[in-house]
Structure 1
Amino acid sequence: MPPFVESEEKDNSLRSRKAGDEGHPDSRHPLYLGDWKRSIPYVDEDFARDNMDEPHLKRKHTILREHPEVEKLYGTDIRTLYVTLAINVVQLSIAYTFGKVWTPPIYIFALVAYFIGGTLTGMIGVIIHEACHCLVFKTKWMNRYVGLFANISLPVPIAQSFRRYHIEHHTWQGVEGMDPDLPLDWEKSLIRGNALSKFLWIMIYPVMYVVRGAVMQHDRNLTPSKWEIINVIFTICSDALIVYFCGWRGLVYLLTSLWFGYSLHPGAAHFVQEHYTFDDGQETYSYYGILNIPFMNIGYHNEHHDFQKIPWSKLPALRATAKDYYDKLSYHTSWLMVHYKFISQPSVGPQSRVIRTYDDHKKGRTLLGKMRAYDLSKKAKTPVTTQ
C-alpha cells in the first residue's frame, strides 16, 4: 500500500485554486492551500514559510455554508468513557500479572508491552485528546476527570498539560513561538534528513513532547495551572498504588508500554502524519486506513482541525458529507509507510513543517470576515429559480 496518495482530482483542483475566484479576498479559495514550497533538508535551512493563516477555519465556514447539516454531527460520545475503563482494566491486569503473579521472560515482557501495551497506550492518548476538546461529556470539569481517569495507565502526568498545549496548537497552528507542536531549533538543525538520526529522534519522541512544552513554558514565563498540579498529585498517588498492588515490575510494564506506544509504533505514526509536509502547500494531512478502527479515527486530522466539536465516532460521516473538499487533499493510507518514508527519505525530516508570523496569521484571520461577506454578497446575486 502506498505511503502517500494524491487524489486524482487534486491537480485540477489546484489549477482551479491557482486561477482563483476573481475578486475573492483569499487567494487560496476554494481549498485554502498555500503557495509555499515544502522545506527540504540539506537544501533549505529552516521550516517552510507561509504568509497567511492556517486553512482550517476558512474551510470550516465554507463547508458549513454548503453543508449546514454538518452541525448535527457536533456533540459528545459517552462510549469514550467505556473504552477508557476497559483499557485501564486490561493494562492494570497485565501489570498485576507481571508484577505479582508471573515473571515472564524479557522477550515476552517486551512483546506484550509493544503489541498490547503500546496499542492501548496510543488509544489512551486519543481519549485524552477527546477529553481536552470536551467531546466525552458536555461539561468541562467532567472531561477533566476523564483525562485524569485515562492518565492512570500512563505513569507520567500528561492529560492536563496536553490539554493546555493542544488547545494552543489549534489556536496558533504554525505560528512561530506560539505553536508548541513545532520542533525546536536543535531538532531541525541537528537531525535533518539523516535516517539514523530520524530513527533515534522517533525513539525519543515521548521525551520531546515533554521537552517542547517545558521550553515553551520557560520562554513565555508560564506557570503550571491548577489542573496540571492536580494531575501531578493524582499521578503520584496512582503510581504509588500501582507499585503497592502490582509491584515495581508492574509499573515498569506501564512505563515501557508508554515508551513503545509513543515512539516507533504504527499508532504513533500519526504524530508525523498530521503536520509534517509531504507536499507543497498542504500543512495538514489525514490518514484513511484500517488502524483508524482501534485508534478511534485519530487519523482524520484535517477533519478534526476543521471541526473540533465533532467527536471521533462521527468524523467519517463528516468526510463523507464534505468529500468534495477532503478527497481533493493529499492523504496517507498506511501508518507503517509514514514512518518508513519519513525515516528513509532524505527529503523529509523534522524541518518538514510550515511556520508563519503572528502578524501574517492575524492578517489572514481578518480576511475571514471579508471572505464571508464576499461569499454572502455573491450568493445574494445568484438568481433563484422556482418550479
Structure 2
Amino acid sequence: FFSLSCLAKYPEIKSLMGPDHRLKWIVCMMVAIQFLAFYLVKDLDWKWVLFWTYAFGSCINHSMTLAIHEVSHNTAFGNNKAMWNRYFAMFANLPIGLPYSASFKRYHLDHHRYLGGDGVDVDIPTAFEGWFFCTRFRKFIWIILQPLFYAIRPLCINPKPISQLEVINLTVQLTFNVLLYWLWGAKPVVYMLAGSMLGMGLHPISGHFIAEHYMFLKGHETYSYYGSLNLLTFNVGYHNEHHDFPSIPGRRLPLVSTPCPSLVVHFPSSHYSKT
C-alpha cells in the first residue's frame, strides 16, 4: 500500500515509469565488449585467461544479468512490445553462456508478487539453506555455490512447466556456445562460463544478492544500498524503491527517493534502510 499512497501524494512519480530508451544501446555495447573479449582471450595463456575472467569478465557478466533483470520489467521497449523485450533478453543472455533469461522472467515476477512467500518466492533462500549454512565456513561455501542454488531452488520449491520461450532460449544459447567453441576454441568458453559463475558467486559485486533481502529487522524484507556499485548494476541497490515501483527503470530510481530540480519527490528517511 505504500506505493499507492506515494502515487497519490506524488503523482509526478508516474512520469518516471516507462521504458529507458538508452538501456538497449548500453546492453548492445556490453555484448559487443564481451564478444571482443572472447576474441582477445583465445590466444592467452591459461593463467591470464583466468585472471581476466575474474577481474573483468565476471564484472561484465554480472552486470549483464542485471540488465536482463531490467529487461524482464519491459524497460527496454515498453509494455506494448513485451515480446521484443523477451527476445532482447535472450540476446543479452548470449555472453553469459547459461540460458536463463526466459526462466528468470517467470520466476522473478513471483518474487515481486509474493515477496518472501514460502514455496513461491524462489529468490529467497529456503529454510534448509538458512538452517544448514549457519557457520562461517558453510556460509562461505554457500556464497561460492550461490549461482547453483539460484538454478536449483525453483526446481525444488516451485517448478513451472517448461515454456516455448525457455526452449528457444536454450536452443539459441547452446547454438551460440557451440559456435563460439568452433570459432575460437575452449578458452573463450571457459572465460564466458567461469565469468558468470564467479561473478554471481564469490565476487564483491555480488554482495547485493545478500544485502537486498537479508532480514536485518524482522518484517523488513528489502533494503536499499546507495553506494558506487550501483554504477555497475543498473541501480539495483535502490531495492526498496524498485519493489515499490518495479515499472520505473533503474536509471530513474534515484529520483524516487531524492529531490531533484525537475521532480521534487522526497520520502521520509525512516522508510528506507541504508545498508
Common fold, TM-score beyond 0.5? yes
Say yes or no: does 1:60 pair with 2:10: no
**Unmatched 5+ residue regions in structure 1?**
1-57, 333-387
1:86 is displaced (CA, Å) by 1.4
Percent identical: 32
One-letter code aligned to 2:50: A
Name the structure 2 match of 1:129: 69
Name the structure 1 match of 2:55: 115
Question: Does the CA-based 8 Å contact 2:49-2:187 persist in structure 1?
Answer: no
Say yes or no: does 1:304 pair with 2:239: no
Which deviations, in whole Å up to 9, do the C-alpha atoms of 1:32-82 show, x marking residues without a partner? xxxxxxxxxxxxxxxxxxxxxxxxxx1101111111111010111122111
Cα distance between partner residues in 2 of 1:237 and 1:215: 28
Higher RCO structure (Cα 8 Å, ≥6 apart): 1
Name the structure 2 match of 1:142: 84
Equivalent of 2:97, from 127, 144, 155?
155
Cα distance between partner residues in 2 of 1:132 and 1:239: 23
Cα distance between partner residues in 2 of 1:95 and 1:326: 45
TM-score (norm 1): 0.67
Cα distance between partner residues in 1 of 2:226 and 2:111: 22
Question: Does the CA-based 8 Å contact 2:62-2:200 persist in structure 1?
Answer: yes
Cα distance between partner residues in 2 of 1:254 and 1:185: 32
Cα distance between partner residues in 2 of 1:269 and 1:91: 23
Cα pair distance change 1:183/1:328, threshold 3 Å: closer
Name the structure 2 match of 1:180: 122
**For residues 229-378 of structure 1, what are the structure 2 equivalents within 5 Å?**
229-321=167-259, 322-326=265-269, 328-332=271-275
Q: When the two structures are aligned, how many residues end up with a matched partner?
A: 268
Say yes or no: does 1:103 pair with 2:44: yes
Name the structure 1 match of 2:140: 199
Name the structure 2 match of 1:335: none
Q: Which has the higher helix share?
A: 2
1:94 is displaced (CA, Å) by 1.6
Aligned Cα root-mean-square deviation (Å): 1.5
Cα pair distance change 1:326/1:121, threshold 3 Å: farther
Cα distance between partner residues in 2 of 1:228 and 1:202: 27
TM-score (norm 2): 0.93
**Unmatched 5+ residue regions in structure 2?**
260-264
Which deviations, in whole Å up to 9, do the C-alpha atoms of 1:293-348 show, x marking residues without a partner? 1221111100000001101110001111543235642222xxxxxxxxxxxxxxxx
Question: Does the CA-based 8 Å contact 1:217-1:223 persist in structure 2?
Answer: no
The residue matched to 2:267 in structure 1 has which SS? Answer: helix
One-letter code aligned to 1:135: T
1:105 is displaced (CA, Å) by 4.5
The residue matched to 2:51 in structure 1 has which SS? Answer: helix
Cα distance between partner residues in 1 of 2:115 and 2:152: 18
Cα distance between partner residues in 2 of 1:166 and 1:105: 36
* Runs of 4+ deviating beyond 6 Å: none
